[in-house]
């Protein structure tokens, strides 16, 4: 499966799911009204898709410093030959498999950030991901993801199925923490079946119960908007 | 009459109303009080356990719990914990091959799983659930994680240390943890050398273990870090080792005190600060009482805790006998942790899994992976336990346990509703899958078998909970033992014990304690 077909596949899912996405895409009459009601400054007519590739990645062979003699000296066998690199600039180019990205690079729709890190790193992968998800300072430990904080300052319209949907991982990442209406699912069918276990009835007698009831209601609202007949072509673990 | 009443008022002036009420003695524990006490201090108390505490005074009940505290585990640990000799740890200079490193990693994962299963078994088997709850509390206070420490053996030894002091003396515990090898690795003490200090441990010992944020200056951390230089581990034995050659012998100034301090002296300076006792008591309050500590009570209990030279039982006794602990607004105010939910449910329903590891893995799937808290601050707990993903994981776990005694019902369920999706059996047998995927599938299958190993006999359980002939009365008795607050939804079919239990455990109220 090519990367292109995978991404259109997900986009179709998101479209069918209505307002179910980090930000709504399908301009139905109902959501148009909802945008009008959204707080000033927040434009929810765009869809933000974040793709996180888990596991190891050879950064230097993804964005290749092809003008560097040190790179070739240190990688006598692994280096990508200069003439195979999909050039982005005089010094950096993409691995040949990423050549399909060149058109959007040329249209100035693609950016590459290299060497992202934090001061005195403790080399823990988990800590890096935490900083990445919460956009915290290196010595700061935040519970809420950066999107969670964004949505709490600019809430989405209540008519949206959810603030965001996480596909293929139970981990809420940048949507973790209090307040967001985020759902995680690996396939729609399974989510809908599980969602039947949620029930938002009764009244909250304290903060803890109020929180649980809110989460149950979020699950039900998302489930009510979700298209059960949509099956991903990608299999998630 | 008047002068007497007047004297009475004078006597208690300046004492908080809560303290005065306790001093006057409390009413004997009701069933609900006893249930509350046992579920907060242990995991999923059964009806017969609750009955044993009914009628006791708060003081008697607290004493019984505290006197029962243990210092060692009952469950035999995995055989590899007895290992002595050099740590099997490929070090950077070892020139270990890729394969050796991979094997080491797999071995640590396997041992880590056994370790989680062992602790979960102890939580299920222990005659003193409070001991395990406090061990878990300290695990979440003095955080170390196998993610960084790697060696399951060191995580085991740390757990033994935490349990030995769990209800002992906080000062002893702090000193023991500071030289615990897993901690030395986790907070980089081994990299802390004279001239090139690593401040990680010094920072966390102040911020997270003793004083709490904002009670010290950046300079205190820098100076304290110098006092801990040379605290290291001996790679051959895996035990703590002080390396005098890299220890900074200069004068340090910490929190206004100056001297050629070593690490232990700095810890004593931290223990002498009133803020330390308050910080720990506030955390105990959130663990046992409610999410909102009563500051007046915290400082009263903290003062007694410090005066008792940090005897943990003194602090716990004060908490377990306080009015706030039993107050109506404290009931059902805490969210069950995944361990509360998993261990509590298994204990509550007398389920004895033949294989405990799958249940530790289930708790990990809900966000609480024993021996691997998410970061140095530990699991934040309470409302952060519940999000759309974890709540569905919790409910699915419960739904699965109470699916039914009838195997035909299980067989009739659609495949995807099982915990682990049906695996490509043929592909597995024919070796068509890559080894990593195949291993993962075998692991998930083993988990599935473990989950299936617990049986729930609803009729038997019901008869233990209630002898009432009337179904509505029986339903009320079941509700009383299972829920800390009234259910959100009217329970289904009170006549069918399994349907009743299912609707009660799937109710939002079951997520609370």
Domain ranges of chain A: 3-51+145-225, 59-106
DSSP-assigned beta bridge partners for residue A164 = A182
Residue B384's nearest CA partner among A180, A164, A150 is A180
Residue pairs between chains A and B whose CB atoms are closer than 8 Å: 107
| Residue A195 at interface with chain B, using a CB cutoff of 8 Å | yes
Comparison of pLDDT for B372 and B22, the residue scoring more: B372
Q: Cα separation of B15 and B47, whole Å? A: 37
Q: Cα separation of B209 and B177, whole Å? A: 10
Residue B480's nearest CA partner among B468, B465, B469 is B465
| Residue A206 at interface with chain B, using a CB cutoff of 8 Å | yes
Tens-binned pLDDT, residue by residue, of chain A (237 aa): 333 344 445 444 444 443 333 333 333 333 333 444 445 556 777 788 898 887 778 999 999 999 999 999 999 999 999 999 999 999 999 999 999 999 999 999 999 998 888 887 766 677 888 899 999 998 888 889 999 998 888 888 888 888 888 887 777 889 988 778 888 887 787 788 888 888 766 677 899 999 999 899 889 888 888 876 777 776 665
- Residue A1 is predicted with a pLDDT of 33
Q: Cα separation of B404 and B458, whole Å? A: 9
Q: Which residues contact B130 (CB under 8 A, 6 or more apart)?
A: B41, B42, B65, B66, B68, B69, B167
Which residue does chain A place closest to B437, by CA atoms?
Answer: A237
Judge whether residue B130 has pLDDT over 90. Answer: yes
- Residue A117 is predicted with a pLDDT of 87
Average pLDDT over residues B77-86: 87
Q: Which residues of B touch A217 (CB under 8 A)?
A: none
Judge whether residue B416 has pLDDT over 60. Answer: no
How far is residue B256 CA from its own chain's centroid? 35
Q: Which residues contact B96 (CB under 8 A, 6 or more apart)?
A: B90, B104
B334: tokens are 């805490």
Comparison of pLDDT for B11 and B486, the residue scoring more: B486
| Residue A142 at interface with chain B, using a CB cutoff of 8 Å | no
- Residue A42 is predicted with a pLDDT of 63
- Residue B429 is predicted with a pLDDT of 59
Of the given ranges (B161-170, B243-252, B411-420), which has the lowest mean pLDDT? Answer: B411-420
Q: Which residues of B touch A184 (CB under 8 A)?
A: 388-389
Q: Cα separation of B250 and B261, whole Å? A: 8
**Percent residues over pLDDT 90 in chain B:** 70
Average pLDDT over residues B83-104: 76
Of the given ranges (A232-236, B58-62, B261-265, B408-412), which has the lowest mean pLDDT? Answer: B408-412
Judge whether residue B438 has pLDDT over 90. Answer: no
Quickly state the pLDDT bin for B397 (edges 50, 70, 90): very high
| Residue A199 at interface with chain B, using a CB cutoff of 8 Å | yes
How far is residue A99 CA from its own chain's centroid? 23
pLDDT per position as a tens digit, B14-28: 344 444 444 456 789
Judge whether residue B64 has pLDDT over 80. Answer: yes
Average pLDDT over residues B338-364: 94
**Residues A190, B485: C-beta atoms closer than 8 Å:** no
Residues in chain B: 513
Judge whether residue B503 has pLDDT over 80. Answer: yes
pLDDT per position as a tens digit, B161-176: 999 999 999 999 999 9
Q: Which residues contact A143 (CB under 8 A, 6 or more apart)?
A: A134, A176, A177, A178, B380, B384
Helix, strand, coil percent values for chain A (each to nearest 5): 40, 5, 55
Q: Which residues of A touch B384 (CB under 8 A)?
A: 143, 177-178
Q: Which residue carries 């304690």 as its tokens?
A: B513
- Residue B5 is predicted with a pLDDT of 37
Question: Is the CB of residue A218 less than 8 Å from the CB of residue A181?
Answer: yes
- Residue A196 is predicted with a pLDDT of 82
B143: tokens are 């955080």
DSSP-derived letter for residue B488 is S
Nearest to A208 among B335, B391, B489 (CB): B335
| Residue B375 at interface with chain A, using a CB cutoff of 8 Å | yes
Question: Is the CB of residue B194 less than 8 Å from the CB of residue B248?
Answer: yes
Question: Is the CB of residue B508 less than 8 Å from the CB of residue A199?
Answer: yes
Comparison of pLDDT for B236 and B78, the residue scoring more: B78
- Residue B8 is predicted with a pLDDT of 38
Residues in chain A: 237
Nearest to B488 among A124, A202, A215 (CB): A202
Q: Which residues of B touch A204 (CB under 8 A)?
A: none
**Residues A178, B383: C-beta atoms closer than 8 Å:** yes
pLDDT per position as a tens digit, B188-235: 998 999 999 999 999 999 999 999 988 999 999 999 999 999 999 998
Q: Where are the beta strands (DSSP E) in B37-103?
A: none
Q: Cα separation of B505 and B491, whole Å? A: 10
- Residue A44 is predicted with a pLDDT of 77
pLDDT per position as a tens digit, B297-319: 999 999 999 999 999 999 999 99
Q: Cα separation of B38 and A108, whole Å? A: 63
| Residue B148 at interface with chain A, using a CB cutoff of 8 Å | yes
Local structure of B169: helix, strand or coil: strand
Comparison of pLDDT for B293 and A169, the residue scoring more: B293
Q: Which residue carries 């890299």 as its tokens?
A: B246
Quickly state the pLDDT bin for B426 (edges 50, 70, 90): low
Q: How many CA atoms lie within 13 A of B193 on its CB side?
A: 7
Q: Which residues of A touch B509 (CB under 8 A)?
A: 209
Which residue does chain A place closest to B375, by CA atoms?
Answer: A127
| Residue A73 at interface with chain B, using a CB cutoff of 8 Å | no
A50: tokens are 């974040």
Average pLDDT over residues B456-485: 91
Nearest to A170 among B389, B395, B511 (CB): B389
- Residue B494 is predicted with a pLDDT of 66
């Amino acid at each position: 499966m090519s990367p292109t077909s995978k991404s259109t596949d997900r986009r179709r899912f998101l479209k069918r799911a209505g307002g179910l996405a980090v930000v709504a895409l399908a301009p139905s009459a109902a959501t148009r009204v909802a945008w009008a009601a959204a707080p000033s400054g927040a434009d929810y007519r765009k869809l933000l898709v974040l793709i996180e590739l888990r596991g190891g990645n050879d950064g230097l062979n993804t964005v290749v410093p092809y003008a560097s003699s040190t790179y070739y000296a240190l990688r006598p066998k692994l280096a990508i030959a200069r003439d195979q690199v999909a050039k982005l600039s005089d010094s950096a180019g993409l691995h040949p498999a990423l050549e399909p990205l060149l058109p959007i690079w040329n249209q100035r729709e693609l950016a590459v950030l290299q060497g992202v890190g934090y001061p005195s790193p403790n080399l823990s992968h988990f800590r890096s991901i935490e900083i990445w998800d919460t956009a915290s300072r290196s010595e700061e430990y935040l519970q809420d993801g950066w999107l969670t904080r964004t949505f709490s300052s600019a809430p989405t319209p209540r008519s949206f199925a959810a603030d965001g949907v996480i596909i293929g991982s139970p981990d809420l990442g940048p949507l973790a923490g209090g307040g967001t209406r985020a759902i995680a699912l690996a396939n729609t069918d399974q989510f809908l079946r599980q969602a039947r276990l949620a029930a938002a009835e009764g009244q909250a007698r304290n903060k803890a119960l109020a929180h649980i009831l809110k989460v149950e209601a979020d699950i039900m609202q998302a489930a009510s908007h979700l298209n059960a007949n949509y099956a991903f072509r990608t299999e998630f673990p | 009459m008047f002068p007497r009443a007047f004297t009475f008022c004078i006597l208690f002036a300046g004492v908080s109303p809560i303290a005065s009420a306790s001093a006057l003695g409390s009413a004997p524990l009701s069933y609900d009080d006893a249930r509350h006490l046992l579920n907060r201090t242990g995991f999923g108390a059964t009806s017969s356990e609750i009955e044993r505490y009914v009628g006791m005074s708060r003081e008697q009940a607290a004493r019984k719990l505290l006197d029962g505290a243990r210092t060692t585990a009952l469950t035999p640990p995995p055989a590899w914990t007895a290992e002595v000799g050099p740590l099997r740890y490929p070090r950077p200079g070892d020139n270990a091959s890729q394969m050796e490193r991979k094997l080491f990693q797999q071995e640590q994962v396997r041992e880590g799983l056994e370790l989680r299963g062992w602790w979960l078994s102890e939580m299920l088997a222990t005659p003193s659930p409070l001991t395990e709850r406090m061990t878990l509390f300290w695990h979440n206070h003095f955080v170390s994680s196998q993610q960084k420490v790697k060696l399951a053996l060191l995580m085991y030894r740390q757990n033994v240390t935490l349990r030995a002091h769990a209800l002992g003396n906080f000062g002893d515990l702090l000193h023991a943890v500071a030289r615990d090898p897993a901690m030395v690795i986790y907070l980089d003490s081994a990299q802390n050398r004279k001239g090139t200090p690593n401040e990680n441990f010094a920072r966390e010992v102040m911020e997270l273990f003793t004083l709490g944020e904002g009670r010290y200056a950046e300079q205190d951390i820098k100076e304290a870090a110098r006092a801990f230089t040379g605290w290291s581990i001996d790679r051959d034995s895996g035990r703590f080792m002080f390396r005098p050659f890299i220890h900074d012998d200069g004068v340090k100034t910490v929190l206004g005190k100056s001297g050629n301090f070593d690490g232990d002296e700095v810890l004593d300076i931290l223990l002498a600060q009133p803020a330390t006792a308050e910080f720990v008591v506030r955390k105990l309050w959130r663990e046992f009482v409610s999410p909102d500590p009563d500051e007046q009570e915290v400082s009263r209990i903290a003062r007694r805790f410090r005066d008792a030279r940090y005897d943990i039982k003194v602090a716990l006794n004060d908490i377990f006998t306080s009015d706030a602990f039993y107050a109506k607004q404290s009931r059902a105010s805490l969210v069950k942790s995944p361990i509360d939910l998993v261990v509590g449910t298994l204990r509550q329903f007398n389920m004895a899994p033949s294989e405990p590891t799958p249940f530790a893995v289930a708790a990990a799937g809900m966000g609480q992976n024993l021996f691997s808290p998410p970061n140095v601050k530990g699991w934040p707990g309470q409302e952060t336990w519940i999000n759309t993903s974890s709540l569905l994981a919790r409910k699915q776990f419960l739904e699965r346990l109470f699916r039914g005694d009838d195997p035909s019902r299980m067989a009739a369920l659609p495949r995807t509703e099982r915990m682990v999706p049906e695996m490509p059996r043929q592909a597995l047998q024919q070796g068509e899958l890559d080894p990593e995927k195949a291993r993962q599938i075998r692991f998930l299958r083993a988990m599935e078998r473990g989950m299936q190993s617990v049986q729930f006999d609803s009729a038997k359980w019901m008869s233990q909970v209630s002898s009432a002939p009337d179904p509505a009365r029986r339903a009320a008795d079941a509700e009383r033992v299972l829920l800390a607050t009234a259910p959100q939804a009217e329970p289904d079919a009170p006549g069918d014990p399994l349907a009743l239990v299912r609707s009660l455990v799937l109710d939002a109220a079951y997520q609370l304690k």
